[in-house]
Structure 1
Amino acid sequence: MTRRLRRLGFLTIGLFDPSAPAAGHEETLQIIELGEELGFDSAWLRHRHLQYGISSPIAVMAAATQRTSRIELGTAVTPLGLENPFRLAEDLGTVDVLSDRGSGGRINPGVSVGPPMNYDALKDHLYPDTHDVEDFTYTRVERLLHNLEGKPVSTFEGTRGIETFSRSIQPHSPGLRERVWYGGGSTRSVTWAAEKGLNLLTSSVIDAEGEDFAQIQRAQIDLFRSLHPAGEAARVSQGLVVIPTDTATPEQKQKYETYAAARLPRTREPQQLGPHKRAYFAPDLVGSSEQLAEQLSNHAGFQAVDEVAFALPFTFGHDDYVQILTDMATRLGPMLGWSPGRAGS
């Protein structure tokens, strides 16, 4: 049985021209504003270090909080191997407070763990004195959760001179901890996230723990909910690449189909992503909203979720994203049972 789609979101990398980065960042903010106007429930930013995509999603979310009033803003995901959980908690708390328009914060931190990508190439600069002893395990998430919960991080509290100090991270934003998501794609990761009471982000890349992407993803979602304190109410969001073409021009349709076809071979068998990691990639879905609704309704993973953050392709232009998001909100979403939210609601 397929769940009715309750929350519709989108994910963007925020691509920019390195010779003129301001324009790309401005377009990302405009896309978030458009998302709110169209009634999307959430907009997610993908963290991209040393690339020509958003390297500081929290800073971009801070700007977006001042240009929107309702849409939720998230990271999908922030790799904690490059973050200090103390400073990250301060930034997240600050932006969540800035996002509050009377009904609570709107920030949804999505995180993951593991050594940073290309770690050997940057470790001497990132952690010059500690790169061989840095802990990239789930402990890093636990430290962040501790901080967001308002638990003590200092043994001193009180006044020194004219300055007053707290034992916990400030500002503390109640409810932010409950909006933390873990980007999981393996039995081990979804088990851990469930036991910690986190929300689950499952995407178009999952560990090769079987032979069929959709069935593997469904098994992981079912396991997550079976172990989560909230049970069947535990939040899971799916992030496939979905490209509706209803109002696309012939040139756009050709571009989208060519893009998906070029990426299709990697979906036919597991890909080696590291010495000990083999993963499946889901095919990109391109077509009319009617075609996409049918494909999604038959997807075992999609059948188990009522929230999505459909990923926008990395290399498309601003006009393409406007068309795709407009078709998602006005055509595809309603076909999946979704109703748009409105500013101020």
Structure 2
Amino acid sequence: MKKIGFLSFGHWSPSPQSGARSASDVLLQSIDLAVAAEELGADGAYFRVHHFARQLASPFPLLAAVGARTSKIEIGTGVIDMRYENPLYMAEDAGAADLISRGRLQLGISRGSPEQVIEGWRYFGYQPEEGQSDADMGRRHAEVFLDVLKGEGFAAPNPRPMFPNPPGLLRLEPHSEGLRERIWWGAGSNATAVWAAKLGMNLQSSTLKDDETGEAFHIQQAKQIRAYREAWQEAGHTRTPRVSVSRSIFAIVNDMDRAYFGQSKDQDSVGYIDENTRAIFGRSYAAEPDRLIDELRQDEAIAEADTLLLTVPNQLGVAYNAHVIESILKHVAPGLGWR
């Protein structure tokens, strides 16, 4: 069995060909798609976070709204760039969204991806400490965030407060019990996957990662997952961690599917996401269900993961994206033993 959710980048464009022409369109359609996915039996609704772009950027209002409109589906991000975040303010927002959803938040965080602007985190008021990189800063913010999510008091109370305080040091409120165990780290390398395991975070692995061995993407990703699980065991954590992978998968079951995805690229590609990082981008899968099942059986990383996030073309509208999700759940997942 495997949990299956969707991952939306939340693009919008004023183009007449786009079904999402404004930020309002994307936000409202994201809520509607989460509701539709839950009705179809999907397990998760996840959203990307990108700043300075015509994409979803402020996740917590959206997560809270989805939580209020749904009752079962997991709600998450993939991923929040921690270089931009005040970890204490973020813990309050996350706690509130998790309480609204009654404990269904699955929050993916990371050091972030290549940006739309140069050092965008500086505009948010953050800069690395002397001798550290922006990646170090993102990981430091993450560690503070994880620490305050434990719900332990750390702040000395005012002896003359406006409202009565409980005894002892004060924690952030609202606190949502159990959220600390539902934080995921989006790892681009084997080393950061191991780091995430040591800190007790679940693992999100995307459709790209550092090209560390020159092997096929799914093989490298599977090795990353195994390294993560080994580090988790060595760290002595008592719970079982969760691992998700993202994929672009489209079951071609009608002429519209064929028109959109019949010519999709079916091989990995390699490129540079910045001056120093050579990355490998995983292939897309688009075929009739029987062929798709055969191809997906060969994907080692999907086999290793307990959760699969389907990237969806959100600008094609709620109805079509619901169809994309339903096609996988109905025509592909049973044949792979996922349902």
| TM-score normalised by the chain length of structure 1 | 0.86
Higher RCO (CA 8 Å, separation ≥ 6 residues): 1
2:10 equivalent to 1:14: yes
SS of the equivalent of 1:61 reads helix
- Where does residue 18 of structure 2 map in the other structure? none
Unaligned 5+ segments in structure 1 are 340-345
- In the TM superposition, what are the counterparts of 1:53-132 in structure 2 within 5 Å? 53-100=55-102, 105-113=103-111, 117-118=115-116, 120=118, 122=120, 125-127=123-125, 131=127
SS of the equivalent of 1:301 reads helix
Q: CA deviation at 1:61?
A: 1.1
- In the TM superposition, what are the counterparts of 1:1-345 in structure 2 within 5 Å? 5-17=1-13, 20-100=22-102, 105-113=103-111, 117-118=115-116, 120=118, 122=120, 125-127=123-125, 131=127, 133=129, 136-156=137-157, 160-162=161-163, 164=165, 167-211=170-214, 212-229=216-233, 233-246=240-253, 248=254, 250-258=255-263, 260-261=264-265, 267-268=268-269, 270-313=270-313, 315-339=315-339
Q: What is the letter of the counterpart of residue 76 of structure 1?
A: G
In structure 2, do the counterparts of structure 1 residues 191 and 231 end up closer, same or farther at CA, with 3 Å as the change threshold?
farther
| Cα distance in 1 for residues equivalent to 2:64 and 2:281 | 32
In structure 2, do the counterparts of structure 1 residues 164 and 337 end up closer, same or farther at CA, with 3 Å as the change threshold?
same
| Cα distance in 2 for residues equivalent to 1:131 and 1:197 | 26
Contact 1:82 1:116 in 2 (8 A): no
Q: What is the letter of the counterpart of residue 203 of structure 1?
A: S
Q: What is the letter of the counterpart of residue 320 of structure 1?
A: Y
Contact 2:193 2:203 in 1 (8 A): yes
Q: CA deviation at 1:245?
A: 1.7
| Cα distance in 1 for residues equivalent to 2:113 and 2:156 | 30
In structure 2, do the counterparts of structure 1 residues 231 and 206 end up closer, same or farther at CA, with 3 Å as the change threshold?
farther
- Where does residue 342 of structure 1 map in the other structure? none
Contact 1:225 1:231 in 2 (8 A): no
| Cα distance in 1 for residues equivalent to 2:3 and 2:318 | 24
Q: What is the letter of the counterpart of residue 228 of structure 2?
A: F
| Cα distance in 2 for residues equivalent to 1:302 and 1:239 | 9
SS of the equivalent of 1:155 reads coil
| Cα distance in 1 for residues equivalent to 2:272 and 2:59 | 28
Identical amino acids, percent of aligned pairs: 27
In structure 2, do the counterparts of structure 1 residues 154 and 330 end up closer, same or farther at CA, with 3 Å as the change threshold?
same
- Where does residue 343 of structure 1 map in the other structure? none
Q: CA deviation at 1:162?
A: 3.5
Unaligned 5+ segments in structure 2 are 15-20
Q: CA deviation at 1:125?
A: 2.9
SS of the equivalent of 2:92 reads helix
Q: CA deviation at 1:118?
A: 4.3
Q: CA deviation at 1:48?
A: 2.1
Q: What is the letter of the counterpart of residue 25 of structure 1?
A: L
Contact 2:83 2:121 in 1 (8 A): no
Q: CA deviation at 1:257?
A: 2.8
Q: How many positions carry a matched residue from both structures? A: 322
Deviates more, 1:299-308 or 1:84-93: 299-308
In structure 2, do the counterparts of structure 1 residues 159 and 327 end up closer, same or farther at CA, with 3 Å as the change threshold?
farther
Contact 1:58 1:95 in 2 (8 A): yes
SS of the equivalent of 1:109 reads strand
Q: What is the letter of the counterpart of residue 12 of structure 1?
A: S
Deviates more, 1:46-55 or 1:177-186: 46-55
